[in-house]
Amino acid sequence: MADSVKSDVKTNGFHKTTNGHHTEELKVAIIGQSNFAAEVLEVLLEREHIVVGVFTIADKGNREDILATTARQHGIPVFKFAAWRRKGVPIPEVLEQYRSVGANLNVLPFCSQFIPMEVIDGAPYGSICYHPSILPLHRGASAISWTLIEGDERAGFSIFWADDGLDTGPILLQKQCPVFGDDTLDTLYKRFLYPEGVTAMAEAVDMIAAGTAPKIPQTEIGASYDPALFREENQYINLNQPAVRIFNFIRGLDSVPGALAIVEMDDGVELPVRLYGASLSARRSMTNAKLIQFKGSVGPAFVTREGIFISGTDGTLVRVKRVKRGNRVIPAGQWFEQSDTKVTPLELSDKEKEQDLTLRSIWKSILKVEIETETDFFACGAGSMDVVRLVEEVKDTLEVPISNETLFMAPMYGEFLQEVIIRLRTGGSDPSATIGCDYKHVVLKANRRQISVPTQMFINGRFIDAEGTKTIAIVNPTNEQVICEVAAASKTDVNVAVQAADDAFRGVWSSVSERERGLLMYKLADLMEQHKEELATIESIDSGAVYTLALKTHVGMSIDAWRYYAGWADKIEGTTIPVNPARPNHVLTFTKKEPIGVCALVTPWNYPLMMLSWKMAACIAAGNTVIIKPAQVCPLTALKFAELTVRAGFPPGVINVLTGTGSLAGQALADHPLVRKLGFTGSTPIGKRIMASCAESNIKKCSMELGGKSPLVIFADCDLEKAVRLGMSSVFFNKGENCIAAGRLFVEDRIHDEFVRKVIKGIKSMKIGDPLDRATAHGPQNHRAHFEKLQEYCTIGVKEGATLLYGGKRVPNIDGFFFEPTVFTDVEDHMYIAREESFGPIMIISKFHGSDFEALVARANNTEYGLASGVFTKDIQKALLFAEKIEAGTVFVNTYNKTDVAAPFGGFKQSGFGKDLGKEALNEYLKTKCVTVEY
How many angstroms separate the CA atoms of 7 and 22, rounded? 13
Q: Is residue 6 part of a domain?
A: no
Q: Is residue 450 part of a domain?
A: no
pLDDT band at 544 (very low <50, low <70, confident <90, very high): very high
Angle at 849 between CA 859 and CA 860, to 5 degrees: 15
If asked whether residues 165 and 252 sit together in one domain, one would say no
The pLDDT value given to residue 12 = 31
Residue 113, annotated ligand binder? yes
The CATH number of whichever domain residue 280 belongs to comes to 3.10.25.10
Q: What is the pLDDT of residues 342-370, one digit of tens each?
A: 445 678 888 888 999 999 999 988 887 88
How many angstroms separate the CA atoms of 928 and 124, rounded? 66
The CATH number of whichever domain residue 569 belongs to comes to 3.40.605.10
Q: H or E stretch including 515?
A: helix 514-530
589: left (phi over 0), alpha (psi -120 to 50) or beta: beta
Backbone angles phi, psi at 696, to 5 degrees: -70, -30
The CATH number of whichever domain residue 799 belongs to comes to 3.40.309.10
Reply yes or no: is the peptide bond before residue 227 cis, omega within 30 of 0.
Answer: no
Locate all alpha helices (DSSP H) within 751-783, ordered by sequence.
752-764
Which letter does DSSP use for residue 433 in this model?
Answer: G
Is pLDDT at 559 greater than 70 in this prediction?
yes
pLDDT band at 769 (very low <50, low <70, confident <90, very high): very high
The pLDDT value given to residue 813 = 92
Q: Is residue 911 part of a domain?
A: no
pLDDT band at 568 (very low <50, low <70, confident <90, very high): very high
If asked whether residues 196 and 239 sit together in one domain, one would say no
Query: What is the number of alpha carbons within 13 Å of residue 742 lying toward its C-beta?
Result: 34
Q: Are 902 and 775 in contact (CB under 8 A)?
A: no
Domain end marker among 310, 334, 358: 334
Specify burial of residue 428 (Cβ count, 10 A radius: 0-12, 13-18, 19+).
middle
How many angstroms separate the CA atoms of 113 and 86, rounded? 12
pLDDT band at 435 (very low <50, low <70, confident <90, very high): very low
Residue 649, annotated ligand binder? no
How many angstroms separate the CA atoms of 267 and 274, rounded? 20
Residue 325 neighbours by CB distance under 10 Å: 18
The pLDDT value given to residue 342 = 47
Q: Are 706 and 910 in contact (CB under 8 A)?
A: yes
Q: Is residue 133 part of a domain?
A: yes
CB-based contacts of 801, cutoff 8 Å, min separation 6? 826, 828, 831
pLDDT band at 21 (very low <50, low <70, confident <90, very high): very low
Is pLDDT at 374 greater than 80 in this prediction?
no
| Helix (H/G/I), strand (E/B), else coil: 11 | strand
- In the set 49, 64, 129, 131, the catalytic residue is 131
* Low-confidence winner among 126-140, 295-309, 825-839 (lowest mean pLDDT): 295-309
Residue 682, annotated ligand binder? yes
DSSP secondary structure of 180-246: PTT--HHHHIIIIIHHHHHHHHHHHHHHHHHT----BPPPSTT--BPPPTTSGGG-B---SS-HHHH
If asked whether residues 660 and 748 sit together in one domain, one would say no
Average pLDDT score over residue span 293-308 = 90
Q: H or E stretch including 520?
A: helix 514-530
How many angstroms separate the CA atoms of 170 and 156, rounded? 16
Q: Which residue has the higher pLDDT, 242 or 387?
A: 242
How many angstroms separate the CA atoms of 278 and 251, rounded? 6
- Determine whether 131 is an active site residue: yes
- In the set 539, 705, 737, 748, the catalytic residue is 705
Q: Are 653 and 627 in contact (CB under 8 A)?
A: no
Q: Which residue has the higher pLDDT, 244 or 397?
A: 244
- Determine whether 830 is an active site residue: no
How many angstroms separate the CA atoms of 567 and 246, rounded? 47
If DSSP states are collapsed to H, E and C, what string results for 610-650?
Answer: HHHHHHHHHHHHCCCEEEEECCCCCCHHHHHHHHHHHHHCC
Domain end marker among 705, 733, 750: 705
The pLDDT value given to residue 432 = 44
Q: Is residue 243 part of a domain?
A: yes
How many angstroms separate the CA atoms of 405 and 399, rounded? 17
If asked whether residues 699 and 741 sit together in one domain, one would say no
Residue 114, annotated ligand binder? yes
If asked whether residues 174 and 256 sit together in one domain, one would say no
The pLDDT value given to residue 428 = 54
If asked whether residues 861 and 828 sit together in one domain, one would say yes
Q: What is the pLDDT of residues 597-653, one digit of tens each?
A: 999 999 999 999 999 999 999 999 999 999 999 999 999 999 999 999 998 989 899
Average pLDDT score over residue span 271-297 = 88
- Determine whether 705 is an active site residue: yes
Residue 838, annotated ligand binder? yes
Residue 229, annotated ligand binder? no
* pLDDT, averaged across the chain: 91
Residue 167, annotated ligand binder? yes
* Low-confidence winner among 412-416, 878-882, 885-889 (lowest mean pLDDT): 412-416
- Shortest CA distance to 91 belongs to which of 54, 127, 55, 64? 55
- In the set 739, 752, 783, 786, the catalytic residue is 739
If asked whether residues 727 and 680 sit together in one domain, one would say no
Residue 632, annotated ligand binder? yes
CB-based contacts of 875, cutoff 8 Å, min separation 6? 715, 717
Q: Is residue 189 part of a domain?
A: yes
How many angstroms separate the CA atoms of 538 and 747, rounded? 38
Residue 869, annotated ligand binder? no
Domain end marker among 687, 705, 723: 705
- Count up the domains in the chain and report the number: 5
The pLDDT value given to residue 2 = 29
> In 250-288, which positions are buried (b, 16+ CB within 10 angstroms) versus exposed (e)?
bbbbbbeebbbbbbeeeeeeeeebbbbbbbebeeeebee
* Low-confidence winner among 305-319, 396-410, 639-653, 787-801 (lowest mean pLDDT): 396-410
Is pLDDT at 380 greater than 80 in this prediction?
no
Is pLDDT at 419 greater than 90 in this prediction?
no
If asked whether residues 824 and 845 sit together in one domain, one would say yes
Q: Are 451 and 538 in contact (CB under 8 A)?
A: yes
The pLDDT value given to residue 9 = 31
Is pLDDT at 170 greater than 50 in this prediction?
yes
How many helices and strands (H and E) does the chain possess? 28, 43
Domain range for 646 is 489-705
If asked whether residues 88 and 145 sit together in one domain, one would say yes
If asked whether residues 154 and 291 sit together in one domain, one would say no
- Shortest CA distance to 131 belongs to which of 170, 90, 104, 182? 170
Residue 850, annotated ligand binder? no
The rounded percent of the chain whose pLDDT value lies above 70 is 95
Residue 746, annotated ligand binder? no
The pLDDT value given to residue 334 = 82
Q: Which residue has the higher pLDDT, 347 or 772?
A: 772
Q: What is the pLDDT of residues 709-725, one digit of tens each?
A: 999 999 999 999 999 99
- Shortest CA distance to 529 belongs to which of 601, 609, 456, 455? 609
How many angstroms separate the CA atoms of 452 and 441, rounded? 6
pLDDT band at 340 (very low <50, low <70, confident <90, very high): very low
CB-based contacts of 899, cutoff 8 Å, min separation 6? 557, 740, 890, 905, 917
Q: What is the pLDDT of residues 795-853, one digit of tens each?
A: 999 999 999 999 999 999 999 999 999 999 999 999 999 999 999 999 999 999 999 99
Is pLDDT at 401 greater than 70 in this prediction?
yes
Residue 878, annotated ligand binder? no
Q: At what angle do helices 636-648 and 514-530 cross, to 10 degrees?
A: 130
pTM of the model: 0.70
How many angstroms separate the CA atoms of 348 and 610, rounded? 38
Backbone angles phi, psi at 797, to 5 degrees: -60, -45
pLDDT band at 427 (very low <50, low <70, confident <90, very high): low
If asked whether residues 203 and 62 sit together in one domain, one would say yes
The pLDDT value given to residue 373 = 82
How many angstroms separate the CA atoms of 642 and 551, rounded? 19
pLDDT band at 928 (very low <50, low <70, confident <90, very high): very high
Q: Are 710 and 741 in contact (CB under 8 A)?
A: yes
Is pLDDT at 11 greater than 70 in this prediction?
no
The pLDDT value given to residue 742 = 98
The pLDDT value given to residue 326 = 80
C-alpha distances (whole Å) from 67 to each of 77, 106, 160, 377, 837 are 11, 15, 21, 20, 80
Residue 667, annotated ligand binder? yes
Q: Is residue 916 part of a domain?
A: no
Look at the alpha carbons of 538, 540, 542, 543 in this order and tell me if their dihedral is positive or negative.
Answer: positive
The CATH number of whichever domain residue 401 belongs to comes to 1.10.1200.10
Is pLDDT at 16 greater than 70 in this prediction?
no
The pLDDT value given to residue 431 = 44
Q: Is residue 286 part of a domain?
A: yes
C-alpha distances (whole Å) from 270 to each of 267, 295, 312 are 9, 8, 21
Residue 839, annotated ligand binder? yes
If asked whether residues 327 and 389 sit together in one domain, one would say no
